[in-house]
A and B are shown apart, each in its own frame.
Chain A
Amino acid sequence: MTLFRKPVSVKGTLLLLLLPAGIGLIAIAWLVQGLLLERMSREFVEGRLKDEVAFLEHHIRQAEGQIDMLQTGDYFEEVFHHAFAIKSPDQTVISPQSWSPLLSPLLQPDEQKSIRVNNAKISNAPSDILAYRKSFSVKDIPITVIVSEDMGALQNSQAELHAWTAIVSILLIFLLVGIIWFGINQSMRPVVSLQAALKRLQSGEISRINARAPEEFRPLVQQLNQLLDSLDQRLERSRDALANLSHSVKTPIAAVRQILEDTERALPLALREEMAARLNDIDRQLEAEMRRSRFAGPQVGKSAQPVKQARDLLWMLGRLYPDKTFELSTGVSEERRWPFEEHDLNEILGNLLDNAGKWSRRCIELSLRETRGQMRIVISDDGPGVAESALGSLGTRGLRLDEQTPGHGLGLAIVAEIVQRYQGSLAFTQKDSQGFVATVEVPIERRSD
């Protein structure tokens, strides 16, 4: 069971956290203030009572224990505004008289201490007093002195003060709520503008978000803009590809159809061959554009498991070229992921391995390594390799150095294009003895353009 529905907005959460906390803290401060006030006034009164007892003692000692020699009556009361009681073995003086039922029970010659009496139900005397008692002897006459103060009045004014503090605290709480509200609104303002920018983006008024986002949201905005960029690029690319395609495909189709529609015309061998050539053109174009549009390039949130993919491809090629052996040597752990889109990595590995498989005599080795932020794919074979002069032109679209082996002459061009998209490098080297090595190096962290 939940008491509150968890608020989803930042504003709601902040209010829900800050408000009760603020109110609680002020309430605690008010309570502590009350306790301190109480303690302070008591200590203050006690101090004064002690002083007065000392004063009385001084006078009694001067009068050498003769209490009636003291100028009693209203004198002390007028000086102190406090009630007092003096007791010697033969006399008791209590002033004012009305307090005597309250004070006389306290006049035991006991240890000196302050005494608190609450709720004494005696008419004409206060119900709540603080008294200080001291016993001493003058010329062997034991004397006990009590000075007391009516706490009721003090407490009343204390309560009044406390009440005022409460009122001020409540005002402070209102002020606090106001400040919190203001602060939240102020700090949420950039988010609101971001929200507005998103809305405008959705309705097509703007094409990129350029609102001044707070620091915390800047990566989000950046990512979003990058995503929009890549979306635009992709759309543009696929439109270009389709335009290219329809341009280069429709003409041969028209030509072939023309020939087929002409029922009068015989189909001599030369014409058949020409038609087949046109269809081959279509196929080549289609394949080239499709493979171009198929690879994704670097994608946020996409990664591939190079070892697993390499294993699958090596196994597959091992089945297709049963008399050749495909080996894997890896310094990368089985579970490691590389920031490649899966298709793209397959295309790189597949094309290079397939080429190596076609040309090798017996053995192909794929090596996956990771060094200093570089992903390194090396594919070497023990085939005849490529003439030094032709190394540079490898990977040119449509160039086929091997006219006999089937293929579109696209593989290396595709690999080169993908590697370039990942800001990496593709190099071919001829081994001294025999064999051919293709090396792909791609940085793990891409520079953002």
Chain B
Amino acid sequence: MRLLLVEDDRLLAEGLASQLEKAGFSVDTTRTAREAILLGEQEDYRVGILDLGLPDGNGLDVLRKWRSSNASFPVLILTARGYWEDKVNGLKAGADDYLAKPFQTEELIARLNAIVRRSEGRVQTLVTAGRFVLDENRQNLKMEDGTEHSLTGTEFRLLRCLMSRPGQVFSKEQLMEQLYNLNESPNENTIEAYIRRLRKLVGPETIATRRGQGYLFNDAV
């Protein structure tokens, strides 16, 4: 299994590489962002480990370059900073997992295996309807102008349901099946609240109300 390790600390990189080789990965190591971008774009890796603090650039920029050139192998980010906003930004840039230094090699390997497994059955699943593209893997909505909005679980499921068949009316009961809730009895108000939130994202006309019947996704708007 080919693995790209981007880490500028030589000692750490060497140690990691040999442990990863032992775990069955075939490891390419690089210390610079420039080389990392090239390798990621040219070679076919199954998984990547990316340190955020590189001497000639930010790891997040490397990641964005990879993602924009369709290098879609799963990436685990390594960093010394454990801020929550760093994790959010890392995942938004296209990472799949995040590990703070120092870490134990077993944990790293377990996480790598997990993201590889997760990416295995993964095909590029995009639902397109009208001006919007829903990315099922990343659970976000891409607008016409390229901006992305991340969705929470239920928002995503509701939108996927509506966008899967544009123009078809879904009743509130049908939509309620998409609702996971800790409360025992989810009610129709909850659906309305979610629809309001989704309309804020896609515009009020895009999700139309059919009085007494339900909602539909209007892809002609």
Contact = CB atoms under 8 A, between A and B. Distances in A.
A283 B153 CA distance: 35
Interface stretch (B16-24, B59-67, B96-104): B96-104
Contact of A346 (B85, B91, B153): B85
Given A312-B150, A318-B152, A326-B152, A362 B84 contact: no
A380 B182 contact: yes
25 contacts: A279-B102, A294-B83, A311-B152, A312-B92, A313-B88, A315-B140, A318-B152, A319-B96, A320-B91, A320-B97, A325-B153, A326-B152, A326-B153, A327-B152, A327-B180, A327-B182, A342-B85, A346-B85, A349-B84, A362-B180, A363-B181, A365-B182, A381-B182, A406-B104, A406-B107
A313 B91 CA distance: 10
Contact of A363 (B96, B104, B182): B182
Nearest to A349: B84
Given A346-B85, A406-B107, A320 B182 contact: no
Contact of A334 (B98, B152, B153, B200): B200
Contacts of A325: 153-154, 180
Contacts of B91: 315-316, 319-320
Contacts of B181: 327, 363, 365
Contact of B153 (A287, A327, A347, A349): A327
Nearest to A351: B84
Interface of A: 279, 283, 287, 291, 294, 311-316, 318-320, 322, 325-328, 334, 342-343, 346-347, 349-350, 362-363, 365, 380-382, 406, 435
Interface string B55-98: 00000000000000000000000000011110110011000111
A315 B138 CA distance: 9
A365 B154 CA distance: 11
Contacts of A326: 152-153
A328 B211 CA distance: 27
Nearest to B97: A320
B118 interface: yes
Nearest to A279: B102
B152 A314 contact: yes
Interface string B127-170: 00000000000111000000000111110000000000000000
Contact of A347 (B84, B154, B200): B84
Interface of B: 82-85, 87-88, 91-92, 96-98, 102, 104, 107, 118, 138-140, 150-154, 180-182, 200
Which 5 pairs between the two chains have the least Cβ-Cβ distance? Answer: A325-B153, A315-B150, A350-B84, A346-B84, A312-B88
Contact of A382 (B82, B84, B107, B182): B182
Q: Max chain B CB contacts within 10 Å: which of A315, A406, A435? A: A315
Nearest to B100: A287
Given A318-B153, A326-B153, 10 more contacts: A312-B88, A312-B92, A315-B88, A315-B151, A318-B152, A325-B153, A327-B153, A334-B200, A343-B83, A435-B182
A444 to B, nearest CB: 23
A325 B155 CA distance: 11
A294 B83 CA distance: 10
A311 B180 contact: no
Contacts of A349: 84
Contacts of B102: 279, 283
B172 to A, nearest CB: 18
A8 B182 CA distance: 61
A318 B138 CA distance: 9
A208 to B, nearest CB: 34
A321 to B, nearest CB: 10
B203 to A, nearest CB: 16
B43 to A, nearest CB: 25
Contacts of B153: 314, 318, 325-327
Nearest to A280: B102
Contacts of B154: 325, 327
A283 B200 CA distance: 45
A427 B6 CA distance: 42
Nearest to B99: A406
Contacts of B98: 320
Contacts of A406: 104, 107
Contacts of B180: 325, 327, 362-363
B161 to A, nearest CB: 15
A265 to B, nearest CB: 21
A319 B82 CA distance: 17
A397 B91 CA distance: 29
Contacts of B139: 315, 318-319
Contacts of A319: 91, 96, 138-139
